[in-house]
Amino acid sequence: MKILVINAGSSSLKYQLIDMEDEHVIAKGNCDRIGIDGGCITHKLANGKVITEDCQFNDHADAFKKLVEVLTKGCDAVVKNLNEITAIGHRIVQGAEHFSESVLATDEVVQKIEDISDLAPLHNPGHVQAIRACKKVFGPDVPEVVVFDTAFHQTMPPKAYMFGTPYEYYEKYNVRKYGFHGTSHRFVSNKLAKCLGRDLKDLKVITCHLGNGSSIAAIDHGKCVDTSMGFTPLDGILMGTRSGCIDASAVLYIMENEKLTASEMNMILNKQSGYLGVSGITSDDRDLRKAAAEGNKRAKLAGEMQRYHIKKYIGAYAAAMGGLDAIVFTGGIGENSASLREEVCDHMQFLGIELDTDKNIMCNAQEVEVSMPYSKVKVWIIPTNEELLIARDTKEIVEKIR
Ligand code: ADP
């Protein structure tokens, strides 16, 4: 069974074609600048060959037509005809309280995703356009499944997801913590349980997804009980360009003094804050560390802030769960930065966290335990694979309806 995984934005369409026999990626790529001049497709094959082509994508349907062409035509075709693609799985950022698991993208479901667009205005409209375009290009007989970033966090209890604002805003506007990166937290926590040879239902785990966007989740007996991102993916720890947690009155104070509109402030908090805002030079962890090593004090500060935030979440979530069996590091920074893992685990012996600093340096970006054999809390690096989990969910749902 071959499954096409789609991660669509308003102007881009990332895809992976996965063979579910052995879960290998047949081809992957990106259609960029949809609805904007200067569109382009970048298509990568399993043998390493990369095809790039300038294209005009007037809408998502154009991008899907091009995708079908590169998958099926010419000497680099990976499928003989479209019938070989059994189903399509879509990544959806916001499912709100409607979706606590992946589902078939029926008309009603797609309408719901559209209805909650004001909770994710930069993401859900693009997802909906992509699902509808996909139906047009692939036809109604190819099942589409939607997999939500928020679904895994729907198990949080109200005491974790409610804000301390008047209750009516929750009732009127659905203002609450939703959490994001749920597919990644679910993937790595399940993988951890497999690696440990244990049942996730017997474990208390903290998963740290650290990339340009970062979030931390507390997973107690297989269920998410808290997570660091909130109403939007802005909350939590300091990120590449996002502020993370901030006193709301500081936001209002800055707006008043700088005479900023809500959308200008939103842009500053999401795109000009975090590593970039504090350091003034970069949003990238590697560049930040290089600058810090060369003596840039603000770069050093930004890094220290992030590590401090992560430590605080680990402490808080261990307390929230009343214990801790394992920590997982994943995402571009979590998987690759030995220094980050060392700094986060430093002085955490009181919690039972004992990092093997030698192993930690040697073992980047692979599934591996990096804690001492006697560490009460196991520390693991587990590369995330959200696309694979989307494909697995899609396969499972499709097999049920066949
Ligand atoms: P996104 O949230 O966009 O998916 P990624 O998970 O790709 O982000 O993570 C990007 C971050 O990972 C960047 O800050 C980058 O510096 C960091 N990163 C990627 N590779 C490495 C590496 N080899 N060593 C240290 N940091 C890395």
Question: Would you state the pLDDT for residue 363?
Answer: 79
- Answer with the residue of higher pLDDT: 183 or 363: 183
Within a domain: residue 163? no
203 lies in the same domain as 81: no
Residue 23 reports pLDDT greater than 80 = yes
Residue 212 in contact with ligand 1 by CB distance below 6 A: yes
Give yes or no for residue 340 CB within 6 A of ligand 1: no
208 lies in the same domain as 116: no
Residue 308 is assigned to a structural domain of this protein:
yes
Ligand 1 centre distance from Cα of residue 287 (Å): 10
What pLDDT, on the 0 to 100 scale, is given for residue 295?
A: 98
Residue 190 lies in a domain: no
Inside any domain, residue 393: no
Atom of ligand 1 nearest to the CA of 364: 23
Percent of the chain with pLDDT over 90: 96
Same domain, yes or no: 144 and 203: no
Distance separating alpha carbons of residues 12 and 40, to the nearest angstrom: 10
The partner residues of 15 in beta bridges, in order of sequence, read: 6, 29
pLDDT at 364: 61
CATH code for the domain in which residue 121 is found: 3.30.420.40
Q: Tell me the one-letter amino acid at 150.
A: T
> What integer best gives the mean pLDDT of the chain?
96
Q: What is the pLDDT of residue 10?
A: 87
Q: Residue 158, class by beta-carbon neighbours within 10 Å (0-12 exposed, 13-18 middle, 19+ buried)?
A: exposed
Q: Read off φ and ψ for residue 46, nearest 5 degrees.
A: -60, -30
Instruction: Output the six-digit token pair for 361.
Output: 């340096």
Number of domains in the chain: 2
| pLDDT tens by residue, 152-207 | 999 999 999 999 999 999 999 999 999 999 999 999 999 999 999 999 999 999 99
Mean pLDDT of 357-383: 93
**What residues make up the domain containing 323?**
197-386
State the distance from the centre of ligand 1 to the C-alpha of 336, rounded, in angstroms. 7
Quick one: 207 and 105 in the same domain?
no
Rounded mean pLDDT, 336-355: 97
261 falls within a domain: yes
Q: Which of 112, 133, 148 is the last residue of a domain?
A: 148
Model confidence at 402, pLDDT cuts 50, 70, 90, reads confident
Which atom of ligand 1 lies at the shortest distance from residue 384's CA? 6
**Cβ(364)–Cβ(380) below 8 Å:** no
CA of 261 to the centre of ligand 1 (A): 32
Give the per-residue pLDDT at 121: 87
| Residues assigned a catalytic role | 149
Kindly report which listed range (114-128, 250-264, 321-335) carries the lowest average pLDDT score. Answer: 114-128
Select from 30, 229, 286, 386 the residue to mutate for testing ligand 1; criterion: most ligand atoms less than 8 Å from CB: 286
Q: How many residues does the chain have?
A: 402
Task: Output the 3-class SS for the chain.
Answer: CEEEEEEECCCEEEEEEEECCCCEEEEEEEEECCCCCCCEEEEEECCCCEEEEECCCCCHHHHHHHHHHHHHCCCCCCCCCHHHEEEEEEEECCCHHHCCCCEECCHHHHHHHHHCHHHCCCCHHHHHHHHHHHHHHHCCCCCEEEEECCHHHHHCCHHHHCCCCCHHHHHHHCCCCCCCCHHHHHHHHHHHHHHHCCCHHHCEEEEEEECCCEEEEEEECCEEEEECCCCCCCCCCCCCCCCCCCCHHHHHHHHHHHCCCHHHHHHHHHHCCHHHHHHCCCCCHHHHHHHHHCCCHHHHHHHHHHHHHHHHHHHHHHHHHCCCCEEEEEHHHHHHCHHHHHHHHCCCHHHCECECHHHHHHCCCCCEECECCCCCEEEEECCCCHHHHHHHHHHHHHHHHC
pLDDT for res 366: 77
Ligand 1 mean position to 213 CA, how many Å? 9
Of the residues 148, 179, 207, which one is the last residue of a structural domain? 148
Identify the pLDDT of residue 365. 62
Out of 118, 148, 178, pick the residue that ends a domain: 148
The predicted pLDDT at position 176 comes to 98
Q: What is the pTM of this model?
A: 0.95
What Å distances lie between residue 246 and 83, 218, 278, 332, 349, CA to CA?
50, 21, 14, 24, 29
